[in-house]
Amino acid sequence: MTELIGWFSAIVLAATISRQVYTQWKTKSTAGVSRWLFIGQLTASAGFVVYSFLVDNWVFVCANFYILLTAVAGQYIYLRNKKLDADEAGSS
CATH code for residues 2-91: 1.20.1280.290
Q: What is the rounded distance in angstroms from the CA atom of residue 4 to the CA atom of residue 13?
A: 14
- The Cα-based distances of 27 to 13, 19, 65, 74, 78 in angstroms read 21, 12, 25, 13, 11
**CB proximity list for 9: less than 8 A, separation 6 or greater:** none
**CB proximity list for 87: less than 8 A, separation 6 or greater:** none
pLDDT digits (tens, 9 = 90+) for 14-68: 888 888 888 888 888 777 777 777 778 888 888 889 999 999 999 889 988 998 8
pTM over 0.95: no
